[in-house]
Chains A and B, each alone.
Chain A
């Protein structure tokens, strides 16, 4: 595996392997010295055309714990905002010795283009491209589900038979897309819930069950409910009438949260709109995995960088 662009490219065994390596990485967090020497001498560039403090910090932290040299390049106030093209920026960073480029871009396909346009040779990790994919988010979600469900017995397991409900703006969500492909590859059943305006066209060809009522979806007894962030400006484009109606119809209200089974996880990729797609009761309940997702994000990204950047010799072991 040279790049991580999309979870569509991951088969079950590769995905399980990444999760297993992430589990190894999590053990280092308990050590007195958290750093591993694995990527010493390698340079990882975080190329962020879009603001995303959480994802950027998570990747930075992951690369540093693997002893890589980390350069972070934010588009704001840089040559990019002065009109430099994606191609020139990428070539400049590679000329500075980047072994891997972690790219976040507001346009779908930007990571794929960097990997395959022939401009550069560096490894590309997609940290979110437009409304397309966000593969490390899906990996950390899968990791979180697996470790909550199976605890110390998680290693080597997939998510066969688990039922995951994803709720909200599927149309514009790279998190939803990456999760659909990954969770399905891992054997889980994915259920999507959204008003029709926020479902992508062609959804019937996806390997998912679509519900138009959140209550119907919750009645199926899911193992996890993943609430997506809703952007309130969507209501100006007539995707839904008002925040109040959205929260009532599609939000994980306190009432709905209390109806969930005792083992049903409540997930959110963050940042949350409390009171809109998720109530504080749900977000702060013991069922919530929101903070686990953040810490697991570092382990999963360590695993991905390790697999892609450490090189052949390391991969053997």
Chain B
């Protein structure tokens, strides 16, 4: 593997430094002289972040390759500065066996754009009836540590209790999609004055908060680790804050879209804004930002959910839930959290790399950019700005809710395990990456 010299990057909490990457590791830092045959990246004006880690990605393969594949999804991830993604289990077949999770992880390794960490289903077929073979997935080559029925809530309290206890055996965590199913039957958007006016069935905040309240108490009772997916309401933030103060082992994520967008966007019935959990009120958006700033919410995770255009170009109630988010995540977080002064770049590294890796028990992210650490690096130009459009996407689907908005920042280079996956702001070709051609 050739070596890469990153010149004059702004380091977190320090000045500018050169960074030499060799054999997949950070080989040296400081003021370095280019060597013969070395790839040199001029990072003057760029911020060096540790490679970003997404704890919540839908790669859709196997089964829904019309929406996304491991290859297209990890290319989108690389474009957004991610070097690792956690692939949700709601594929077809469901990732509820060692065979499926090993296949997904292997596809990620073959393509090389990002480390793909499969998330195992909690229950067989996501049916919420009996536990999937969690031990087999944990002990497989994919070494699964995060388990989730995402898209569906583990609603049965007994099953949730058992799942929390059982995954603890393998150092795992349950990532709960908190949605009380009976309270959200047919739900289409946030329940409130606007849903009443638009005549769309409401998704009440209490349906999320009731499950979070139950699950933090269960986690406390059995002494297990719980992660809450895509927290979306101010009330949920209060419960998580209470649970953490009590010493309960709970972590929480927020999506970029819940940090920026509100339910008002449902007004035109444009299904690009249909997502689960739904976009909430302005008060919720501000509570989520404050919670991310004060550490109540640990991480940002994308919930990247690709859908083909026909699943969105239809009447609201008939459209699919979900938005793509890998490519835009860092820009949205810069816009909502850095430009508002609530976080700095070192915090961004924490909430988008170190903390999600820690929750997912993903090695190699605990000493970011330290000499000898695996070389996962993202170089971002914080001064760039662009009017977001579908042409900025690199995955297979185009259901971005941010089109037409001016977003700051741009990922100029991504280095995954010592290899450039994004160079000069563009995703490199598979041939250049030196891995197997896919797709």
Contacts and interface: CB of A to CB of B under 8 A. Distances in A.
Interface in B155-195: 188, 191-195
A275 B357 CA distance: 64
A71 B245 CA distance: 66
B342 interface: no
B194 A86 contact: no
A177 B316 CA distance: 19
B265 interface: no
A233 to B, nearest CB: 13
Interface string A248-276: 00000000000000000000000000000
B269 A201 contact: no
B269 A87 contact: no
Contacts of B193: 201-202, 205
A129 B200 CA distance: 11
Contacts of B315: 86, 105, 107-110, 113
B198 A107 contact: no
B313 A116 contact: no
A200 interface: yes
Interface in B175-227: 188, 191-202, 204
Given A86-B315, A113-B315, A200 B269 contact: no
A132 B199 contact: yes
A82 to B, nearest CB: 15
Given A108-B317, A109-B316, A110-B315, A202 B196 contact: yes
B310 interface: yes
Contacts of A87: 313-314
A131 B197 CA distance: 9
A108 B202 CA distance: 13
Interface string A129-164: 111110000000000000000000000000000000
B313 A85 contact: yes
Interface string A85-96: 111000000000
A154 to B, nearest CB: 30
B202 A132 contact: no
Nearest to B191: A201
Contact of A203 (B196, B268, B314): B196
Contacts of A177: 197, 199
B318 interface: yes
Given A108-B188, A108-B316, 8 more contacts: A107-B318, A131-B199, A132-B198, A177-B197, A177-B199, A200-B196, A202-B196, A206-B196
Interface of A: 85-87, 105, 107-110, 112-113, 116-117, 129-133, 171, 174, 177, 200-203, 205-206
8 contacts: A85-B310, A87-B313, A87-B314, A105-B315, A109-B198, A112-B269, A133-B199, A200-B195
